[in-house]
Structure 1
């Protein structure tokens, strides 16, 4: 499979994820054998020190010595995370994100995953109640962000990997924590798989086949959803759910799942998708439900679903703008205010009035162009501003006098004749990106 990868892709540069264990050691030496016959191949290695074992430094030193022996450039990088629950999962995420930062654009990342790893992953997915996507297991090759990752040993069993290591007198490190069956993967590896193999000798290969079938079905489903979702995505990347009650529940849920998959987060569970459908799609028209997903929330406004990053409220923030010739920076990356000739036209402050910015107001107001006072909530609704954005819009005050929601509306004086006499105005621009949820970085889950 390694030779197939080399011939399949034009790129001839490889970065090997080298832990020093038997799997990555076999992979490293197989690549060295191939390089002997193909000198144009470039090989680098990267070792991630998790710093959670007493022998971590010793293992790192072993990897350095092996790579020096075979003249392989090696990157060593230490990571640290709190020793809390789900440590295996959190280490995996941290490890891959770290590797990604060192992976060159023209390199392919190689890992030492084998057939037993695939089987363990499949059983873990069954334990979690995963669907076809989870049961797709480990892919032989796919993308890590916009870079390629391949697993050349995936069709080889652990026994075959061990046999090759012994036949070639390789040296590797043994992490004895891999025998601790308190970890789910180790329990499957040492307790379940031996029994299953003894009963059904072809169990591992059948797991591999099941993963391939699930992967192909998931790929086909995503191709169809990619076309279908175009009819439901709004210009602001929200999901139009206007007609969701008229289509089958299963299709609606898959569209929601696919829409969330575009947001660069770990996919939520089946139960969460079910909650989104039942509690948001099927809720009353005037309801304001929300579902929390990690550090984000799914909200409905009018006839669309919005994916919003949760932020600390700034509703109680109070800012003074003493020097209007300078920019006034707003909290929580909400942009800044600047006085210029292109901004929102409003009456200028009187002499000695304190210009201040707030982010919350309750009550009735009279805005320019209207004859009657209305609750500010109704004004926000009229301007189609969702509830989660209302407390991010800077509200301009002169002393305690409400003047304007900058960029949205201006307050009208109660006495219209008095308002007509106002001659001095100024213009304020609010430079912001609060409606942008896009991310320009890669994160592995």
Structure 2
């Protein structure tokens, strides 16, 4: 087994992506791809002691045969002395969502939660899977990033690494390996159902391409590799643009963004949204976003609803905002640190501030009382909290989250901004300050 071409491809890919020899968590379905992958990992462990491996079976609940497949995978792992884990996930069909994509997302989440600490998840996708993915995305009109298809390495939201060491191997290579070593596996009969686009390509279209064009698979894989290199270069340049346009707090400077070409503007916004794990907008949505952001007046309010949040404009900057309720008020508090229910803390400092409360005055921390009046120190008159926060440049959606300190019914401090004029003392006073949570 050690001298087979497939093992050599696998060995090079594994060592190229896992030089630290981290544990391997193998995604095992029972099909020929994942079973061959399991045997390759087993051989790696036998040839090079020190490798730690386990297998994980995820039941999507989409097949009546899933129980027997799980039992097969468990027996196989027991015969090879490989630790076996399993979990079931529920995939509910949603309108305008791909069932395949939903099952994939649920599978990744389950694999991530079950895999051993510090391990890399090993996936069995191969070159023909890559070709199918490329053609499907070509059919959908995908751009460069989509046509670059599957990467040999993927980072999950948790930071865990997934690797695909068989992407340079063909389905024929894998099936020949299974025949050579009489490796038993299961057959998923749903793979014959050509109502599904991927199956139609696999069973009807790709065999025609391969019979007509010698070396068709390897040619497409080379093209995909070139697309991935070009996409990586674009991402590198886009990151430089993003760093130029982004403030320290993560907002986009529209003046700097507007100085870029339209193509670079679009890439910067996509990269910026991706930093918040936001789903990529369509071409039309992105054009509308940029048009509103760059052509509206300086003080114009825009609110573009996305998937996880919305994009807002304030004083020449774009903000990505996820709606949150204001913290709960804290009533009758002492001159001591307070932990708010949004994770922030309020601490009390002494020196410049307002006079200390009298014994009969009750201290409270309130939120969202934007109509309350205060005359800030060094300001000409009294006005509402909303007015003063607007003057201070606080975006409208953040104002309800600013802590307001009251002595009984008297507003004495807008934390981080103003002290009540009549309560101000330059020495031996108290003031509240916000500390972000860990």
TM-score class, shorter: 0.7 to 0.9
**Residue 428 (structure 1) aligned with residue 417 (structure 2):** no
Distance 1:175 1:42 in 2: 29
1:28-427 correspondence to structure 2 within 5 Å: 28-84=38-94, 85-104=97-116, 107-144=119-156, 146-200=159-213, 202-311=215-324, 313-314=325-326, 319=329, 321-324=331-334, 328-331=338-341, 333=342, 335-339=344-348, 341=350, 345=354, 348=357, 351=360, 355=364, 357-362=366-371, 365-374=374-383, 376-412=385-421, 426-427=430-431
Secondary structure of the residue aligned to 1:57 is: helix
In structure 2, relative to structure 1, the CA distance for the partners of 1:60 and 1:335 (3 Å cut) is: same
In the TM superposition, residue 240 of structure 1 has moved relative to its aligned partner by: 1.8
Instruction: List alignment gaps of at least 5 residues for structure 2.
Output: 1-8
User: Which deviations, in whole Å up to 9, do the C-alpha atoms of 1:351-406 show, x marking residues without a partner?
Assistant: 36574623131376532221134454442233221222111112234555443322
Secondary structure of the residue aligned to 1:321 is: strand
In the TM superposition, residue 236 of structure 1 has moved relative to its aligned partner by: 1.2
In the TM superposition, residue 122 of structure 1 has moved relative to its aligned partner by: 1.2
In structure 2, relative to structure 1, the CA distance for the partners of 1:34 and 1:426 (3 Å cut) is: closer
State the match for 1:439 in structure 2: none
In the TM superposition, residue 71 of structure 1 has moved relative to its aligned partner by: 0.8
Instruction: List alignment gaps of at least 5 residues for structure 1.
Output: 414-418, 437-445
**Residue 23 (structure 1) aligned with residue 33 (structure 2):** yes
With the length of structure 1 as denominator, give the TM-score of the two structures: 0.82
Secondary structure of the residue aligned to 2:70 is: helix
Work out whether residues 324 and 338 of structure 1, in 8 Å CA contact, stay in contact via their aligned partners in 2: no
In the TM superposition, residue 421 of structure 1 has moved relative to its aligned partner by: 11
In structure 2, relative to structure 1, the CA distance for the partners of 1:243 and 1:6 (3 Å cut) is: closer
State the match for 2:4 in structure 1: none
Work out whether residues 114 and 154 of structure 1, in 8 Å CA contact, stay in contact via their aligned partners in 2: yes
User: Which deviations, in whole Å up to 9, do the C-alpha atoms of 1:283-324 show, x marking residues without a partner?
Assistant: 22221112233212222221222222232x33xx77351242
Please, which moves more after superposition, 165-174 or 346-355? 346-355
Secondary structure of the residue aligned to 1:403 is: strand
In structure 2, relative to structure 1, the CA distance for the partners of 1:191 and 1:272 (3 Å cut) is: farther
Which of structures 1 and 2 has the larger relative contact order (alpha carbons within 8 angstroms, sep 6+)?
Answer: 1
Distance 1:397 1:46 in 2: 56
In the TM superposition, residue 280 of structure 1 has moved relative to its aligned partner by: 1.5
Secondary structure of the residue aligned to 1:243 is: helix
User: Which deviations, in whole Å up to 9, do the C-alpha atoms of 1:162-188 show, x marking residues without a partner?
Assistant: 233233322222333334445443343
